[in-house]
Amino acid sequence: MTSQPRSSVVVPYITAAAAVVGLAAIVVLLGVGQTPGAAPASSAPPVAVRGSASPGASLIASQSVPSVPSAAPSALPAPSATPTPTPAPGTWSKPATVAGFDTCFSVVAAIDDGGTHHLAASCGSPGNEIRYAVSTDGHAWTTSILKPPTGRSELDPQLAFAGDTLYLAYSRVAPEEGGCGDDGLADVGVYYRTRTLPSGDWSEPTRIGEVADHLQSFRVSGSVIHATVTDEKEGRTFYETLSGSTLGRYAIADAAGSSSLRVGDDGKGRVAYESTKGIAYGMVSGGQFSSVTIPNSTGGWNPVLILAPGNDAYLLWNRSDHGAGCAGGGPDPEDGTYFATNASGKWVTTRITTLVGGASLALDPATRELHAIVLGPNRLVYFHRAAGGAWTHENAVRRSAASAVIRQDPTTGALFVAYVSYPIEGPSFIQVTGRR
């Protein structure tokens, strides 16, 4: 079984000496639309969820989903930092820090149909908790803490919308003694909360799936919840649907790492995931999960999937050694960040950069323009591709960062980026930037 570290093992403090050593060890060449060439330095996954291959498929239906109470969210008293002025067209704004989001090690972002921005992050040291922030303009934020029950930690949040309802899903874990290849976190289930937009309170958490599940990806379509989870007890990955109290649970037999989920125009979930053969793409058909391996994706991991109208798929993923345990291999000439789409009727794969780091992808559904953020050494690089055009790139932010995510405001077309910033000294924190 291939095992990868969870995001919770990222240490939110980096010393100056460690930063210097890290910079000396990383030499990465940036190339756009290149064929494989000189070998860049490899990079460990900034956020990864353990998974494993499994031998079969199964369906579990008609399961009752219990509600589990938890402490109510508590507001943070500190207001947001001074709002950053809106940048001139085509320029990135000066990064702004979101108050109350320190000691954080992962972040997700979403923008609703009214243009309101939402953030959720895994934060805290030594324990882990979910923090949530909301902003009507992407500049001034109101932040709150969703405290986990005593003796539990909560991490790896996901945000999703269904009409005027916002969903927040996450994994709940019980800290225990770990070791090499073991993060010391025993899964105790995947939970979600909801709030009615724009100003409703958060509901009490409800568990979905099995107790040993750990959340990978989460979406909602109408009244149906879709998720991919890893059952840490069985070492298997599942695609789940929850409609009312009926849970559909489908094994992804060849899953070997993280996954990314989106729901198509037809209400059916599509999943891109790391398989034993490369990056695979599949969905439920005939009561079982079936998939195909994307050409030229051997060695790929950390896929990011989005769907265009008509269910055309667009994907980014990393290719590099990302072995489990306490040792890994070296760089390879074919390492980098890759892009694939089936919009032409067949899968076409290209490498867009030799950078290897976390990636995020956004799509303008009207124009089919693609916007991506790829993490490089001490910088976030913005990639853009007009429909049918070539990829271009520019530096968006120059700093050490992780867990970057890019979103496009549906009301203005402006781009929004959130990420974890790592200073040379002191705790990590969440920053945001944008352009129009």
β-pair partners for 433: 417
pLDDT tens-digit series, residues 217-226: 999 999 999 9
DSSP 3-state of 377? coil
**DSSP type of residue 67:** B
DSSP 3-state of 18? helix
Q: Check residues 179 and 172 and name the one with the higher pLDDT.
A: 172
Tell me the pLDDT band of 264, cut-offs 50, 70 and 90.
very high
How many domains are there within the chain? Answer: 1
pLDDT at 407: 98
Q: What is the DSSP string of 312-366?
A: -EEEEEEES---STT------TT-EEEEEE-TTSS-EEEEEES--S-EEEEE-TT
In a domain, 388, yes or no: no
CATH number of the CATH domain containing 156: 2.120.10.10
In a domain, 199, yes or no: yes
Q: Sheet of 300-307: strands edge to edge?
A: 300-307, 313-319, 336-341, 348-353
pLDDT at 126: 63
DSSP 3-state of 401? strand
% of the chain beyond a pLDDT of 70: 75
In a domain, 391, yes or no: no
Q: How many CB atoms lie within 10 A of CB 346?
A: 8
pLDDT at 50: 33
Q: What is the mean pLDDT of residues 130-140?
A: 94
* 241 and 248 Cβ atoms separated by less than 8 Å: yes
Q: What is the mean pLDDT of residues 356-377?
A: 95
Q: What is the mean pLDDT of residues 52-69?
A: 32
Q: Is 88 a residue whose pLDDT tops 90?
A: no
% of the chain beyond a pLDDT of 90: 67
In a domain, 1, yes or no: no
Q: Is 210 a residue whose pLDDT tops 50?
A: yes
Could you give the CA distance from residue 66 to residue 207 in angstroms, rounded to a whole number? 6
Q: What is the mean pLDDT of residues 410-423?
A: 96
The region of weakest confidence among 23-27, 144-148, 278-282 is 23-27
In a domain, 389, yes or no: no
* 114 and 197 Cβ atoms separated by less than 8 Å: yes
Q: What is the mean pLDDT of residues 129-156?
A: 93
Tell me the pLDDT band of 380, cut-offs 50, 70 and 90.
very high
pLDDT at 74: 55
Q: What is the mean pLDDT of residues 346-368?
A: 95
The region of weakest confidence among 27-36, 53-62, 334-343 is 53-62
- Measured between alpha carbons, how far apart are the two ends of the chain, in Å? 45
pLDDT at 51: 32
pLDDT at 188: 86
Q: Are strands 104-111 and 142-146 parallel, antiparallel or unpaired?
A: unpaired
Q: Is 160 a residue whose pLDDT tops 90?
A: yes
Could you give the CA distance from residue 257 to residue 281 in angstroms, rounded to a whole number? 13
Structural domain range at position 95: 7-383+396-435
Could you give the CA distance from residue 58 to residue 240 in angstroms, rounded to a whole number? 11
Q: What is the mean pLDDT of residues 232-249?
A: 94
Q: Sheet of 269-275: strands edge to edge?
A: 255-263, 269-275, 279-285, 288-293
pTM, to two decimals:
0.79
Tell me what the pLDDT averaged over the chain comes to: 81
Tell me the pLDDT band of 186, cut-offs 50, 70 and 90.
confident
In a domain, 268, yes or no: yes
Tell me the pLDDT band of 40, cut-offs 50, 70 and 90.
very low
Closest C-alpha among 284, 274, 285 to residue 315: 274
In a domain, 390, yes or no: no
Q: Is 22 a residue whose pLDDT tops 80?
A: no
pLDDT tens-digit series, residues 300-336: 999 999 999 999 999 999 999 876 545 456 678 999 9
Q: Check residues 160 and 186 and name the one with the higher pLDDT.
A: 160
Could you give the CA distance from residue 421 to residue 12 in angstroms, rounded to a whole number? 9
Q: Is 359 exposed, middle or buried (0-12, 13-18, 19+ CB in 10 A)?
A: buried
Q: Is 413 a residue whose pLDDT tops 90?
A: yes
Could you give the CA distance from residue 399 to residue 376 in angstroms, rounded to a whole number? 9
Could you give the CA distance from residue 221 to residue 223 in angstroms, rounded to a whole number? 6
pLDDT at 329: 62
Q: How many CA atoms lie within 13 A of 139 on its CB side?
A: 11
Q: What is the mean pLDDT of residues 182-211?
A: 88
Q: Are strands 391-397 and 429-435 parallel, antiparallel or unpaired?
A: unpaired
**What Cα–Cα distance (Å) separates residue 200 from each residue in 118, 167, 195, 249?**
14, 12, 5, 31
pLDDT at 175: 75
Could you give the CA distance from residue 305 to residue 436 in angstroms, rounded to a whole number? 24
Q: Is 83 a residue whose pLDDT tops 80?
A: no
Q: Is the dihedral of CA 213, 214, 216, 219 positive or negative?
A: positive
The region of weakest confidence among 139-148, 179-188, 266-275, 299-308 is 179-188
Could you give the CA distance from residue 419 to residue 376 in angstroms, rounded to a whole number? 13
